[in-house]
Amino acid sequence: MAAWSIVPDGLAIAIRLTPRGGRDSLDGVETLADGRQVLKARVRAAPSEGEANTALVALLAKELAISRSQLSLTAGASARLKRILVQGDGAVLAARLQKRFCEI
């Protein structure tokens, strides 16, 4: 399974978040032990009171050049593994991620 997939509302992204990671960045695609792929992300924010989730949404919005209101956390609010729904044209959004993380 890819780290992101086109869904009727836009794009679903599987993410492994590292809070207190020293910097805000997206670090590429990683394959987990069970074979699933996730987008690795790290944020400086602490994992308390939703600060790390808010920082993740801001980071993804900046990376995809979209508004934060187009992003919603659909799973994993208190876990490292998260699922984010990005509203918009799924093909365009997937192409942006593909270009950024899957260059040959």
Residue 64 to residues 1, 61, 87: CA-CA distances in angstroms? 21, 5, 11
Q: Which residues are 24's β-sheet partners?
A: none
The class (CATH top level) of 4-101 is: alpha beta
Q: Check residue 103 and give its pLDDT.
A: 58
- Cα 79 from Cα 94, distance rounded (Å): 24
Tens of pLDDT, residue by residue over 30-39, are 999 999 999 9
Query: Given pLDDT bands bounded at 50, 70 and 90, which one contains residue 100?
Result: confident
Global pTM? 0.90
Looking from the CA of 86 toward its CB, the CA atoms found within 13 Å total 30
Tens of pLDDT, residue by residue over 75-86, are 989 899 999 999
The answer to whether residue 48 scores a pLDDT higher than 50 is: yes
The ranges assigned to domains in the chain are 4-101
What percentage of the chain has pLDDT greater than the value 90?
Answer: 78
